[in-house]
Structure 1
């Protein structure tokens, strides 16, 4: 019997009656032998099984080169021998844990101090500073990036710069959702960009009006455009503000339409209807042409062309008259007002 290989040893269970009897016998008779025979009240098989169990618990120790003769060990010695391997492993683990603690504590404290030193809201005032920060935040993102980009078609150089970050994020398995305005559908460069990123796993939708320019990273950091400086940005790390902005994005996302890659007549009619509805709503609110154009993501000239056609179809003689008539219709516009134009998707 090899008593050095202990498998499934249950140290928590008490000694059985036969084990107590064999241990007592070994103490009184200076040992016990396998095959010695039965003890009073117990069979030989029960005795031999008890000897093996007691040897596993180090309460019996083999004597000589062949483990058939055993002597009783003190409970204290047995306890020390059984505990020593576990205590040795515990010391090794404690030493490894202490080394890991000593190695990582400076890293943890430095990172924590750096995070605490960061302002909850930080202003950036140049394009280079914004791009540098976006690149860093994108590299640190682990699971989600949300983007809303109003303004219609996006410039080719902006899309090229964004493509590098987007491809790297999607290759790492980061989920991406992007909102554009309906007017972005009619930009060849924007559509080409969307076609590439959607094949890589991104989701892109369009909406008419009513959303801000923002990028959110991992639901922790949100970057928005500075109100008085479109080239700058505001970095928001305050959890409540960031959470509020992300909630707004999710509500807009639920109202948006999937970005179409098939620009057929049906899609042009749909985009035209949506565009007219938003322009009419802004006209009723009394917004000026420049404001409507900016909010709709189109040039002022294109916006004025849409407004002129709307006024013509409702028989308005002025902007004030148009606002009055549109309020009178109260959403029940005649079909001629919202009928699509042949060039409805074109922006000058």
Structure 2
């Protein structure tokens, strides 16, 4: 109607369309924001404007801003890359020609992991033993993982079966799986391991206190290849971490964990060692052991060990010929 009449008057438009005056006023304001109607001014009619002119008025500032941002990005790249040579020449971290470097400072390890992640183009493989991970660590890793997936990097992660009982871990796995990540669980895992593009691997040092440990950064092809093959071996026997089918899968995995505890009890391992190997809290492990002892009718840990040794086939445990001397 405004185009036919050559002007836009709220009352006239409302009467012609049979609409409320308030709705017409809102429509006029929206059209003015799009530069399709002239601004409201005393003594001057509101008239339709050329859409091509409106397009130019709206788009040009955005194009200018984008061009300015692109120039800023180029400047940042140029400045930081020019400084990178000096930094690498003095940096105490792993040099390109050093196949294995041990870093004691956790912050330095984090910087090297960030550098490997930024340069990753094909795949990240990681072993994450110890059951469910703390929510704050998962939140930090969430953005890193999603950023890799957006770049088309294949992400594969192995947890222990006990991680399935962690709500935070299940939520995290569900989110990254929907974006293309692959997650499996296994009964036991070795130490934590991260490998980028099958070229650089990170292995943590032994923790000696409450502070996060350092790590060894490995670029030697033979060693990295061995670690990749070790990961693939566990990956092949791992079970898909399917959050949507958690209830059906959990009972079967719980039985696997139970049989694992029986097997490790038969080896004579201490409660703390069993808990660490299966990625669960010692208190949780002891509850499982108490339930197993009650089921067997054993009144002591020693008696339970003897009964398992005699009836291992009943429980499905693969018993070793002798227990370790130190219980570790």
Q: What is the TM-score normalised by the length of structure 2?
A: 0.64
Alignment correspondent of 2:192: 213
Partner of 2:273: 291
Counterpart residue number, 1:53: none
Aligned to 1:12: none
| Inter-partner Cα distance in structure 2 for 1:320 and 1:120 | 48
Query: What is the 5 A alignment of 1:158-197?
Result: 158-197=137-176
Select 1:253's aligned residue among 228, 235, 241: 235
How far is the alpha carbon of 1:145 from its aligned partner? 0.6
Report the CA distance shift for 1:260/1:125 in structure 2 as closer, same or farther (over 3 A).
Answer: same
User: What secondary structure is seen at the aligned counterpart in 2 of 1:330?
Assistant: helix
Offset, 1:225: 1.6
Q: Does 1:146 align with 2:125?
A: yes
Q: How far apart in 2 are the matches of 1:277 and 1:127?
A: 37
Q: For residues 258 and 264 of structure 1, do their structure 2 counterparts lie closer, same or farther at Cα, with a shift above 3 Å needed? A: closer
Kept after mapping to 2: 8 A contact 1:209/1:278:
no
CA distance in 2, matches of 1:232, 1:316: 44
Residues 1:309 and 2:291 are matched in the alignment: yes
CA displacement at 1:228 relative to structure 2: 4.0
Aligned CA RMSD, in angstroms, stands at 2.6
Q: Deviations over 1:284-325 (max 9, x none)?
A: 111111111112111111110001111111122322222222
* Contact 1:127–1:231 (Cα < 8 Å) also in 2: yes
Q: Aligned to 1:122, what secondary structure does the other structure show?
A: strand
Distance 1:217 1:189, change over 3 A: same
Correspondence 1:121 to 2:90? no
- What is the total number of aligned residue pairs between the two structures? 227
Q: How does 1:1-348 map to 2 (within 5 A)?
A: 118-229=97-208, 231-262=213-244, 265-333=247-315
CA separation of 1:116/1:184 partners in 2, compared to 1, >3 Å: closer, same or farther? closer
Conservation of the 8 A alpha-carbon contact between 2:164 and 2:170: yes
Alpha-carbon shift at residue 235 of structure 1 (Å): 1.0
* In structure 2, C-alpha distance between the alignment counterparts of 1:193 and 1:323, rounded to whole Å: 38
CA, structure 1 residues 167+250, in 2 after alignment: closer, same or farther (shift >3 Å)?
same
CA deviations on 1:232-264 (whole Å, 9 max, x unpaired) are 211111111111111111000011100021365
* Structure 2 contact 160–189 (Cα < 8 Å) conserved: no
Contact 2:262 2:315 in 1 (8 A): no
* Structure 2: unaligned runs, 5 residues or longer: 1-83, 317-328
Asked whether the 8 Å contact 1:211–1:252 carries over to 2, the reply is: no
Contact 1:144 1:219 in 2 (8 A): yes
- Once structures 1 and 2 are overlaid, which stretch shifts more, 223-232 or 269-278? 223-232
Counterparts of 1:177 and 1:168 in 2: how far apart (Å)? 14
Unaligned runs of 5+ in 1: 1-106, 335-348
Give the conservation status (yes or no) of the 8 Å contact 2:157–2:182. Answer: yes
Moved more, 214-223 or 317-326: 317-326
Tell me how far apart the structure 2 counterparts of residues 293 and 138 of structure 1 sit (CA, whole Å). Answer: 32
1:182 Cα deviation from its structure 2 partner: 1.0
